[in-house]
Structure 1
Amino acid sequence: MELKIKELPSVEKALNFDLEEYATMLWSTKYGLWKWDILNSKIYFSDRCFEMLGYSENNIYPYISHLIYKDDIKDFSDSLCYHIKNKIDIFHFEVRLVKIDGSYIWSYIEGKILYDKCGKALKMLGSISNITHRKKWKDNLYKIAFYDTLTKLPNLNKLKSDLEKLCRSSNSFSVITLNIDNFRTINNTLGHDIGDKYLEKISMLLQTFCSNNCSVYRHSGDEFVFILKNKDASQVVESFANLVQKTLSNNTFYIKGNELNITTTIGISIFPDHTSVPSELLRFSSSAMYYAKNFAKSTYIIYNDTISLIALKKSKLENNLRVALNNNEFEVYYQPQVNIKNGKLIGMEALLRWIKPDGSTIMPSDFIPIAEDTGLIISLGEFVLKEACSQTKLWHTKYSIPLKISVNISEKQLENKNFVYIVSDILKETKLDPKYLELEITESSAIKDFNNIVALLNKLKDINVKIALDDFGTGYSSLSYLKELPLNTIKIDKSFIDNIECDQKKKAIIKSVIILSHDIDLNIICEGVETEDQLKFLKSINCDEVQGFYFGKPLYAEEFECRFLK
């Protein structure tokens, strides 16, 4: 007899199950029992089955196909046919069964198929158990493992899994890494609650691009990834990237009284053009995105060989940086700071240099960004702080000159909740009086998490450490927040000093900043002074201190001592 599952058998209540069939099934009483008489195409249910689904013999659907959830019928039928066709006697299947109220339960169906001597299927005996609770628990675990709790988007685990599946085929697709520009500023200045709401709204927008050929994932923090499936991926992906950026930029969110716009930077990699390795596709698109950010935000770039070489160079530099830290290849240099009125040395700025074993020097601009990205800046920052404090204390003892030492502090260091304790411990260890230590923070660092920074700086002020606002004029340059920050010094950036001799606007700006700063009892130091004319102008407008090549380049400790202290 050839089985025709297209016409699934009718359902009836079993009046009895004979003892031989009970002995064959050995089912627990908590299970519903069923019997399928294959020859007359009828299925019989026990009372427990009817109770489980809420039916009686009077209102049960007439055919088993009506009881099976529509999306499960084909898979159930195919599996049943396969078992009978191949003379497999044990059958088990998870399926949704429709209850009388239209809802469904997840059921685990088990059965044993009985054949005659000729191998013809005669009947099946089995059980039905309600596994809805177990299925929900399993689904919850799956969601926790593969979906982001904030945005409800598939997460990095799901992204990796889907990429591995896609890379097993030959069909072209694109990986599009999208980063929200300036998200950290929003998060730090307005708070994480608003930052989270902002990400939720962006996620909802990103989901509008999804289809059978397009899916979106939350990679991490403010980074999302699209997978765009298309046989002409390289042609379609640019139009898609443009559409995403245009759509996002045309939206404005209003969250708790804050008006927030969206701009994004995108990096793209293509399978199999760039690589057929899932992890590399993800890495290449991310590299392209960060490469784009180096030039201009709100753009997109498709991965290429140039980006590959830059990423490789960065990777090598990162590895070398770790080795250099272990091998103590770093040295602190010192640049003099001078009282403009009497020309006397009043302190120095500590500047980090990487001296390689071959004697060559790598400048901070080449390795500090990587150190910040990798978190190595924390170790480097502590090294500079300890070395600078120790050296200053040594010069205090040796020459009895009350020199101050200025040390640059990175944003990552300021984010460390133990930073104040680290500074305090270093001062105790080196025995340097805190009043001689001046920590330099940038405008961008100060404004990104303003309230927390104010609290942190006040704690430093409580232990008598001085604070300077570095690079003033290059960032937000808002004079309004100067009164809120517990500052001692404003350091005007070199870009304002360059060509000041013939730039009347620069002169007017610096003069105004100095007058205002003095009115609120702040010291002013101008860096980048290289000519006598610059010095004369700064003297004429009552600048307090100066620093630059006119007085001396950064020097290692022994050379600085020989030139300025002996």
Structure 2
Amino acid sequence: MPQGKPTGCEELGARECAMLAAMSDGVVVTNLQGEIVEVNPAYCALTGYPRDALLGRNPRMLKSDRHDAEFYRRMWQALLQEGHWQGEIWNRRRNGELFVRWLSIDAVRDERGSPTHYVGVLSQPCTVRRKEAEVERTLHLDPLTGLPNGLLLRDRLRQAMLLGRQSGHKVALLYLDLDGFKPINERYGHPFGDRLLAAVAERLRAGLRPTDTAARAGGDEFLFLLPETGAANDAGLVARKLLDLLAEPFRLEAGREVRLSASIGIVLHPDDGEDIDELLAHAEAAMQRAKGAGRNRYHFYSRSLQARASQEMELEAELRRALEQEEFLLYYQPQVDARRGQLTGVEALVRWNHPRQGLLPPGRFLKIAEDTGLIGPLGEWVLRAACRQARRWRDQGLPPLRVAVNLAAAQFDDLRLVDRVAGWLIESGVDPRQFEVEITEGSAMRSPERTVERLMELKAIGIRVAIDDFGTGYSSLGYLRRFPVDTLKVDRTFLRNVPDDEENATLCTAVIGLARSLGMSVIAEGVETAAQVEFLRERQCDELQGFLFGRPMPPDELARLARTRTTLLPEGLPPARSKTPARQRRSSIPPRTAPARATPPGVSSRRKER
């Protein structure tokens, strides 16, 4: 290199050299003749050459022989004509090792526009950058919907909270949970469910401002961040808009239309919390409140909700302890023959003998048991305890009584249920024909095909099956005919103010007629007056249950009742003339053939109290 010619920082200036030194990509600066006048530390580390060994040399010293003369000709042609070239290039390190980088070369011009230097920047090649971008996407975006995930939302929420403190604006966070998505997923399959979630995400995202963020929290839950919210009402308007967007039917396949609703919880920063985890927990609590209030609505967080959530957490812990220490017990409500008033069966209803609060009805704890997954072990305890009690009554000399037990919707997913019930019946020595399981109409229709199989399995071991709360759901008559059901239980709401309430009387008559036409026996729940007994008798209802014949009672009290009363009909109400019961009529119907053993199910999540 000619003596006296400025090189390195003498030629570029101290400021430019400092900037180069701070860059993480390798940078080389040459004069117009191609001689290196400066490199940064990253370039030295990349090539393996010290700075002094590079100054005054031509970058061709790194040539790998991977590129032909035409490659370099096009490079220089672009530099001379356009002042810029970029592309992937292979070079050779000082130790002979080959490496690939993305090289960008730009001409540096003076105030007259004449080129004075060339600057080359060696960065990661495109394939590496694409992989890095994919990793970044995986970390921060939901792969199904393309929405930001919870991690990215937390980061944006943190930034929004910081800006909100500086500007004085509120930040709103909305927690949305789809209502009834699980039955849709089970009915149509997970691929359909995934497509539906993607369609939901696209529709909800379209309803937001560009500055808002929609994120998928997981499953069928979504989060919405609204920075710079003026007032609580603004967040409420957005929530209402989201609910309206969901109300429009989704048509993902020809002939298949799906309608959805959602429950939304809303929190505001800083009013409802200063911490991200606190805000998320409060938003979820508000969402649960909206769901519990009837769904398809939104609810703002309040301090009372937090107190309630704390109580529920405490109750959950106590529930777990109660299961371990067997603090639960069963009460039994009589079921009587409608004509003569004889005791024909009982329904087992769980109670919690709380050490401080006393005897708690199911409405106080079943919902929490469902939400926390404790309904499974609690349901198993109820089934086993009912089997044992049936055996005790038999040993005490009581006449055979049918014992009915409720199955929760969640128990239908337990593949071991039928085997367990069969084992408990064998263990207790109870005739399966004296054991009846009740499922709600809504549970039966969650997945009708699966319900047919599960109920067939229960019938295959001799257990009776009843549809509970019939008339309150949306049963298809076609499916109802296929369900291997022995009994329909008329919901108590149909019997309210009967026979004076003509509408309820008509509905009640229709349900009894439907059951009789299908060869099923009928039990009416909620019977409280002699007039209702007469009304039900006239319509040939088979059995009755309600406070008129007895409230739920301990097993010993039920045993005394069975020994001392030949009829539970109220005084002044004589037995009715005998008529052909539905059980005998049913014998004219061809028996259903039970399929091969597949998968089982099993305590009803009903929280009604009798």
Tell me, what secondary structure is at the counterpart of 1:365?
A: helix
Report if aligned partners of 2:251, 2:257 keep a CA contact under 8 Å in 1.
Answer: yes
Structure 1 residue 185 and structure 2 residue 183: aligned? yes
1:533 positional shift: 1.2
1:465 positional shift: 1.3
- Cα deviation code 1:492-511 (max 9, x no counterpart): 11111121121233223322
Structure 2 partner of 1:267: 265
Report if aligned partners of 2:387, 2:428 keep a CA contact under 8 Å in 1.
Answer: yes
Structure 1 partner of 2:143: 149
Of 141, 158, 172, which residue of structure 1 is paired with 2:152?
158
1:271 positional shift: 1.5
CA distance in 2, matches of 1:162, 1:509: 54
Judged with a 3 Å threshold, the aligned counterparts in structure 2 of structure 1 residues 168 and 320 are, in CA distance, closer, same or farther, namely farther
Judged with a 3 Å threshold, the aligned counterparts in structure 2 of structure 1 residues 426 and 155 are, in CA distance, closer, same or farther, namely farther
Tell me, what secondary structure is at the counterpart of 1:399?
A: coil
Structure 2 partner of 1:416: 414
Report the AA paired with residue 552 of structure 1. G
Report if aligned partners of 1:35, 1:43 keep a CA contact under 8 Å in 2.
Answer: no
TM-score normalized by the length of structure 1: 0.80
Structure 2 partner of 1:116: none
Matches within 5 A, 1:450-461: 450-461=448-459
CA distance in 2, matches of 1:359, 1:207: 47
CA distance in 2, matches of 1:45, 1:302: 69
Judged with a 3 Å threshold, the aligned counterparts in structure 2 of structure 1 residues 26 and 310 are, in CA distance, closer, same or farther, namely closer
Structure 1 partner of 2:299: 301
1:480 positional shift: 3.5
CA distance in 2, matches of 1:382, 1:346: 24
CA distance in 1, matches of 2:330, 2:244: 47
Tell me, what secondary structure is at the counterpart of 2:173?
A: strand
CA distance in 2, matches of 1:155, 1:359: 43
Matches within 5 A, 1:419-438: 419-438=417-436
CA distance in 2, matches of 1:226, 1:446: 34
Structure 1 partner of 2:246: 248
TM-score normalized by the length of structure 2: 0.74
- Cα deviation code 1:80-122 (max 9, x no counterpart): xxxxxxxxxxxxxx9965699xxxxxxxxxxxxxxxxxxxxxx
Report if aligned partners of 1:442, 1:472 keep a CA contact under 8 Å in 2.
Answer: yes
CA distance in 1, matches of 2:105, 2:491: 74
Report if aligned partners of 1:194, 1:255 keep a CA contact under 8 Å in 2.
Answer: no
CA distance in 1, matches of 2:50, 2:201: 47
Judged with a 3 Å threshold, the aligned counterparts in structure 2 of structure 1 residues 343 and 45 are, in CA distance, closer, same or farther, namely farther
Of 69, 76, 79, which residue of structure 2 is paired with 1:62?
79
% same residue: 31
- Cα deviation code 1:406-441 (max 9, x no counterpart): 000111111222222222222222222221111100
Compute the RMSD of aligned alpha carbons. 3.9
- Cα deviation code 1:18-45 (max 9, x no counterpart): xxx9xx958679xxx8989999999778
Residues 233-242 or 214-223, more deviating? 233-242
- Cα deviation code 1:214-251 (max 9, x no counterpart): 11111122110011111636353233223333333346
CA distance in 2, matches of 1:391, 1:377: 21
Report if aligned partners of 1:265, 1:293 keep a CA contact under 8 Å in 2.
Answer: yes
Structure 1 partner of 2:581: none
Residues 8-17 or 517-526, more deviating? 8-17
Structure 2 partner of 1:47: 63
CA distance in 2, matches of 1:539, 1:247: 49
CA distance in 2, matches of 1:499, 1:96: 83
Report if aligned partners of 1:333, 1:350 keep a CA contact under 8 Å in 2.
Answer: yes
Matches within 5 A, 1:335-346: 335-346=333-344
1:399 positional shift: 1.4
CA distance in 2, matches of 1:513, 1:460: 24
Judged with a 3 Å threshold, the aligned counterparts in structure 2 of structure 1 residues 394 and 330 are, in CA distance, closer, same or farther, namely same
Unaligned runs of 5+ in 2: 1-12, 21-26, 88-99, 107-116, 565-610
Report if aligned partners of 1:27, 1:127 keep a CA contact under 8 Å in 2.
Answer: no
Judged with a 3 Å threshold, the aligned counterparts in structure 2 of structure 1 residues 495 and 247 are, in CA distance, closer, same or farther, namely closer
Structure 2 partner of 1:537: 535
Structure 1 partner of 2:224: 226
Report the AA paired with residue 193 of structure 1. P
CA distance in 2, matches of 1:96, 1:324: 66
Report the AA paired with residue 145 of structure 2. T
Q: Larger RCO: Structure 1 or Structure 2 (Cα < 8 Å, ≥ 6 residues apart)? A: 2
CA distance in 2, matches of 1:345, 1:66: 97
CA distance in 2, matches of 1:562, 1:174: 61
1:140 positional shift: 4.2
CA distance in 2, matches of 1:359, 1:335: 23
Matches within 5 A, 1:28-177: 46-48=62-64, 51=67, 55-60=71-76, 62=79, 66=84, 97=103, 128=122, 130=124, 132-133=126-127, 135-164=129-158, 166-167=160-161, 170=165, 172-177=170-175
1:189 positional shift: 2.9
CA distance in 1, matches of 2:210, 2:421: 55
Report the AA paired with residue 368 of structure 2. I
Structure 1 partner of 2:567: none
Tell me, what secondary structure is at the counterpart of 2:79?
A: coil
Report the AA paired with residue 456 of structure 1. R
CA distance in 1, matches of 2:251, 2:318: 43
CA distance in 2, matches of 1:529, 1:392: 25
CA distance in 1, matches of 2:391, 2:361: 26
Structure 2 partner of 1:354: 352
CA distance in 2, matches of 1:36, 1:241: 65
Report if aligned partners of 1:404, 1:437 keep a CA contact under 8 Å in 2.
Answer: yes
Residues 361-370 or 321-330, more deviating? 321-330
Report if aligned partners of 2:103, 2:123 keep a CA contact under 8 Å in 1.
Answer: no
Structure 1 partner of 2:468: 470
CA distance in 2, matches of 1:62, 1:203: 47
Report if aligned partners of 1:399, 1:565 keep a CA contact under 8 Å in 2.
Answer: no
Judged with a 3 Å threshold, the aligned counterparts in structure 2 of structure 1 residues 59 and 37 are, in CA distance, closer, same or farther, namely farther
1:477 positional shift: 4.7
Structure 1 partner of 2:606: none
- Cα deviation code 1:113-133 (max 9, x no counterpart): xxxxxxxxxx9x999575655
Report if aligned partners of 1:174, 1:227 keep a CA contact under 8 Å in 2.
Answer: yes
Equivalent residues, number: 512
Unaligned runs of 5+ in 1: 70-93, 101-122
Judged with a 3 Å threshold, the aligned counterparts in structure 2 of structure 1 residues 434 and 211 are, in CA distance, closer, same or farther, namely same
1:394 positional shift: 1.7
Structure 1 partner of 2:399: 401
Matches within 5 A, 1:549-560: 549-560=547-558
CA distance in 1, matches of 2:422, 2:143: 39
Of 364, 385, 388, which residue of structure 2 is paired with 1:387?
385
CA distance in 1, matches of 2:54, 2:228: 47
Report if aligned partners of 1:173, 1:230 keep a CA contact under 8 Å in 2.
Answer: yes
